[in-house]
Amino acid sequence: MKNDKKILSMGLAAMLGVCAAGCAMSGKEKEEAPFVPETVGSYEAEDAVFSGNVAAAPAPQLQGFSGTGYVEGFQEDGDACVFSVTVPEDGFYDLNFVSAGNGGEKYNYVIVDGEQMGTVYIADSAFGDSVLDRVYLAQGEHEISLSKYWGWIFLDRLDILTAKPIDESIYQVTAGLSNPNASEETKRLYSYLLDIYGEKFLSGQYCDTGRLGREFQVIQDSTGKTPAVLGLDMIEYTPSRVENGSSGKAVEYAINFWEEGGIVTFCWHWNAPSKYLTGQWYSGFYKEYTDIDLAKIMNGEDEEGYELLMADIDAIAVQLQRLEDAGVPILWRPLHEASGGWFWWGAAGPEAYKKLYITMYDKLTNEYGLDNLIWVWNGQDAEWYPGDEYVDIIGEDIYPGERVYTSQATSYIHAAQDYSTEHKMVYLSENGCLFDPDLAIRDGAMWGMWCTWNGEFVVEDVVVYTLSEQYTEESMLQKVYGHEAVLTLDELPDFKTYEIRKELK
């Protein structure tokens, strides 16, 4: 779609495929007519095209399959089963890969017409549903692949079903700030975030060296625009890094950007205390470079470890206090990507993680009285959710590959519907390539913000910084930053006078 104004003027309800008849129905009528998906196509895996090690099982042992058998062999990168399908009309469809896990839970990639659309999950050893929700398909023929990520599944068939319309209430945020004592500046910023949610996208960029850093420079040179959100990291303030000579300037960069009218978000790559470092000290946030056991720490078996973690939080609290003293509210995203298991704070499972998250929240909010934090939870799995009272915004980190401009609507809707009992804002808290705003509007994936990670995702690593097009082409970068639904630094209001919403006063 080329006419952005036309897209926006159609209204979100129309873009989500809500029919006029459905809108005219009374609440009672809606309750009496629940959505029933229609199967528009069913394709046996054994009749599809295979690549790599994938092949039809020569002697099927599992029961419950349809057709003449199923396929196996999802073992190495590139192993895939490719379906040629036909859909009757433009619209949103659920892709159900009926499959069985071979030894526990498995995730695998779904690729549509050469673009990665997301992942599907299966845990049961019997054949069951493994669904990617709400994929937009135009009328006609398509190539849909299930490709190895974890692999080790048995695939029976692909069913294509009409998708249920999005419940528009997910854009109507009901959650206030978790901290009732939030500062005036924090309430003003949060009020603005609420006011634009569901209608606009905040542009964001991580840049270790602040507003004048290389990532901001190349974006400005290419688009003439400056991101609205600056992403920074508390990493260099961590005690085990300071002990090795590190020093941070992120707080100064944050204060300067806020004074210029921008919004700041912080993550924290928490280097484990020195006692637990087993490899290169500067990679001490990864589990493979530590021998820390968070479960033992949080259940009281390792009291010294608990005190060391609390001392680390104390050190970061000093920096957060500097920001509060300067009147800077921040989108605070600690303990990110926990369910992935690659960071030490996620290596011991969800219960230990949640205890640490809640302890950190209580310590920073109640012990230190830090009222400038808007808490962005980024655990990325419902089992890891600490509770609504500790979360203001839900963040998802997505790296779909190179030049993948799809909206990642499945992840957005999952985050909006499946984590919280309230309606909270959902942000793309880290990303590699950008998404196309037109596709996000069409799909109903109204991410409140994106924040592209630094380095190769934006900049070529040369002496004279130039734009890297490995993940996002310059033409798409320019389209995104020039889109009327995308907010940049020059379009932000004065947060020192922005009106606080009634429910936050």
Q: Which of 196, 216, 320, 194 lies closest to 260, judged by CA?
A: 216
Which range, of 3-17, 46-60, 77-91, 435-449, averages the lowest pLDDT? Answer: 3-17
347 vs 8: which has the higher pLDDT:
347
- Type of residue numbered 151: G
Q: What is the mean pLDDT of residues 184-212?
A: 97
Give the CB-side neighbour count of residue 388, counting CA atoms within 13 A.
Answer: 13
Provide the annotated active-site residues: 337, 430
pLDDT in tens, 133-173: 999 999 999 999 999 999 999 999 999 999 999 989 999 99
pLDDT of 15 above 60:
no
pLDDT of 8 above 90:
no
Q: What is the mean pLDDT of residues 97-121?
A: 92
pLDDT in tens, 344-370: 999 999 999 999 999 999 999 999 999
Contacts of 465 (CB under 8 A, 6+ apart): 214, 217, 218, 459
pLDDT of 24 above 60:
no
- How far is 134 from 95, CA to CA, in rounded Å? 8
Q: What is the mean pLDDT of residues 392-414?
A: 94
The pLDDT of residue 260: 98
The pLDDT of residue 58: 94
pLDDT in tens, 382-399: 999 999 999 999 999 999
pLDDT in tens, 175-184: 799 999 999 9
Phi, psi for residue 106 in degrees, rounded to 5: -140, 145
- How far is 459 from 10, CA to CA, in rounded Å? 36
pLDDT of 19 above 60:
no
Sign of CA dihedral 201, 205, 206, 211: negative
42, 93 Cβ separation under 8 angstroms: no
Helix, strand, coil percentages, rounded to 5, for the chain: 35, 25, 40
The pLDDT of residue 296: 98
For the chain, which domains are there? 1-35 (no CATH), 39-162 (2.60.120.260), 168-504 (3.20.20.80)
Phi, psi for residue 363 in degrees, rounded to 5: -65, -50
Instruction: Return mean pLDDT, the chain.
Output: 92
- Count the neighbouring beta carbons within 10 Å of the beta carbon of residue 414: 19
Say if residue 40 is exposed, middle or buried (CB neighbours under 10 Å; 0-12, 13-18, 19+): middle
Which range, of 6-10, 62-66, 324-328, 472-476, averages the lowest pLDDT? Answer: 6-10
Say if residue 280 is exposed, middle or buried (CB neighbours under 10 Å; 0-12, 13-18, 19+): exposed
The pLDDT of residue 29: 41
The pLDDT of residue 20: 31
pLDDT band at 32 (very low <50, low <70, confident <90, very high): low
pLDDT of 1 above 50:
no
% of residues, the chain, pLDDT over 90: 88
The pLDDT of residue 48: 98
What does the buried/exposed string (b/e) look like for 423-460 if buried means 16 or more CB atoms within 10 Å of the residue's CB? bbbbbbbbbbbbbbbbbbbbbbbbbbbbbbbbeebbbe
Contacts of 436 (CB under 8 A, 6+ apart): 405, 406, 407, 476, 479, 480
Q: What is the mean pLDDT of residues 202-214?
A: 97
The pLDDT of residue 31: 54
